[in-house]
Amino acid sequence: MTAPRLDINLSKIHHNASVLVDKLAQRGISVTGVTKAVLGSPDIVNTLLSAGVSSLGDARIENIEAMRRQYVTAPIMLIRSPMLSQVDEVVRQADLSFNTELAVITQLSHAAREAKLTHGVVLMVELGDLREGILPADLPSTVRTVLRLPNIHFRGIGANLACHSGVSPDADNMAAFSALADSIEANFGSIELVSGGNSANLNWALSGAKTGKINNLRLGESILLGCETLCRQKIEGLYTDAFTLVAEVIEAKIKPTRPWGHIAQTAFPSVTPAAYPDGNRLRAILALGHQDVDPLGLKAPPGLRLLGASGDHLIIDSDTDSLVVGAEITFGLTYSALIRAMTSPFIAKVMQAGAVKNTLSQKTECHPAIRA
Ligand SMILES: *Cc1c(COP(=O)(O)O)cnc(C)c1O
């Protein structure tokens, strides 16, 4: 079969999404399926929709356009603040967008008026992670201005934690966010969407803590990779191996464990190589590199270890001498490895729709994210 390739098990993605949709429905929370990691892939989008997500979210207008070209009619939200240079596409392709800047919302209003459309706006609120968001003190005046803009429909408020500073969603900051929703409703009338966060919110949402006004979460990684994202723990009952990356061996030789010659810089930062005693071991090269994937986000099968990577070579050490040229090696992936592999034109994406072989009981692990 073609290599390198991502084998994508749609049944496992469907299972993960429907388990989370059902659990959160019991807490009064709808799920927006976040598609940015999979570039709006129609097979995966249809899988998410059939599992019951209430809408789709993506950070990039190009992915939203790709979904619309594939006749996806479900509500789609742009979950990153639109660029001023893209407002015309945004009002045509997205039902609503997440916003923090009045300059952008004003231009969305002009673009929507020109296109004879109404565009939904969710205002993102800063809760301490210091990525996107309006400071809570500035929220009421911003809402007042947005409500006056023609062809703009104020749909609600959103928050996003754990993405930049690693601030965890917890009972305190979620209660504060819910209280903000209360005060906006008291002053300006009821709001439809109170979107509390992403996969990092699952521990909070499923803990039994009060959800208050929060009625939506936007989930990507937890559906695709089966883990929560604060400690990268496997979520009970979900598959962590819906995606696997298969690469092919192009060289397999017994070589000395130590390089020789004068050592200077390499092309890419090296993976800390395991310390082997002087001697000879089997090392293999796979046709895969930084241009395809984040090598630090690959989890090698037992008996194999990643020694390093360059633009298009991945070097691995093997405990046995049985690896041969042409062999295929299957890796697990972190989110960081997944997004790069999905985006690489050199990696085939192979959708497997068949029945799910039950690997739920196997001891699969989530792969720790590498944080810079
Ligand atoms: C990426 C993103 C999400 C989804 O995050 P996951 O950790 O993949 O669940 C949700 N909201 C916003 C604003 C995002 O950028």
The DSSP secondary structure of 330-344, one letter per residue, reads EEEE-HHHHHHHHH-
Q: How confident is residue 372, by pLDDT bands cut at 50, 70 and 90?
A: very low
Q: Ligand 1: which residue has its CA nearest to atom 14?
A: 79
pLDDT score for 266: 79
Ligand 1 contacts CB of residue 125 (under 6 A): no
Ligand 1 contacts CB of residue 199 (under 6 A): yes
pLDDT score for 93: 98
369 pLDDT more than 60: no
**Separation of 255 CA from ligand 1 center, angstroms?**
44
Distances (CA, A) of 126 to 71, 133, 193, 205, 214: 34, 4, 16, 19, 15
Q: Does the predicted model carry a pTM greater than 0.85?
A: yes
The predicted model gives 170-197 an average pLDDT of 97
Atom of ligand 1 nearest to the CA of 32: 10
Ligand 1 contacts CB of residue 229 (under 6 A): yes
Ligand 1 contacts CB of residue 219 (under 6 A): yes
371 pLDDT more than 60: no
Atom of ligand 1 nearest to the CA of 221: 8
Of 218, 232, 366, the one to substitute when testing ligand 1's pocket (max ligand atoms within 8 A of C-beta) is 218
145 pLDDT more than 80: yes
Q: Mean pLDDT in the chain?
A: 94
Q: What is the pLDDT of residues 333-364, one digit of tens each?
A: 999 999 999 999 999 999 998 666 666 656 55
What is the percent of the chain where pLDDT is above 90? 87
Residue with the bigger pLDDT between 138 and 164: it is: 138
Q: How many CA atoms lie within 13 A of 293 on its CB side?
A: 32
Of 38, 55, 47, nearest to 11 (Cα)? 47
196 CA to centre of own chain: 16
**Separation of 59 CA from ligand 1 center, angstroms?**
8
Ligand 1 contacts CB of residue 318 (under 6 A): no
Ligand 1 contacts CB of residue 220 (under 6 A): yes
Q: Ligand 1: which residue has its CA nearest to atom 2?
A: 198
d(CA 4, CA 116): 46
d(CA 371, CA 83): 27
Which one of 23, 36, 234, 349 is the catalytic residue? Answer: 36
Atom of ligand 1 nearest to the CA of 59: 15
If you search the block for the tokens 């639109």, which residue do you land on?
A: 82
The predicted model gives 228-245 an average pLDDT of 95
Cβ atoms of 133 and 125 within 8 Å: the answer is yes
pLDDT score for 353: 81
The predicted model gives 10-15 an average pLDDT of 98
Ligand 1 contacts CB of residue 120 (under 6 A): no
The predicted model gives 198-226 an average pLDDT of 97
Distances (CA, A) of 310 to 120, 221, 273, 295, 315: 44, 27, 14, 9, 9
The predicted model gives 120-143 an average pLDDT of 97
Cβ atoms of 150 and 113 within 8 Å: the answer is yes
Q: How many CA atoms lie within 13 A of 359 on its CB side?
A: 15
d(CA 120, CA 108): 10
The predicted model gives 138-146 an average pLDDT of 98
Active site residue 23: no
129: exposed, middle or buried (Cβ count in 10 Å: 0-12, 13-18, 19+): buried
Q: Ligand 1: which residue has its CA nearest to atom 7?
A: 199
Cβ atoms of 5 and 347 within 8 Å: the answer is yes
**Separation of 290 CA from ligand 1 center, angstroms?**
24
pLDDT score for 278: 85
Q: What is the pLDDT of residues 261-276, one digit of tens each?
A: 988 887 777 666 567 7
170 pLDDT more than 90: yes
Per-residue DSSP letter, 318? E
Dihedral angle sign, alpha carbons of residues 241, 245, 251, 256: negative
If you search the block for the tokens 């799910």, which residue do you land on?
A: 356
Q: What is the pLDDT of residues 50-95, one digit of tens each?
A: 999 999 999 999 999 999 999 999 999 999 999 999 999 999 999 9
Ligand 1 contacts CB of residue 34 (under 6 A): yes
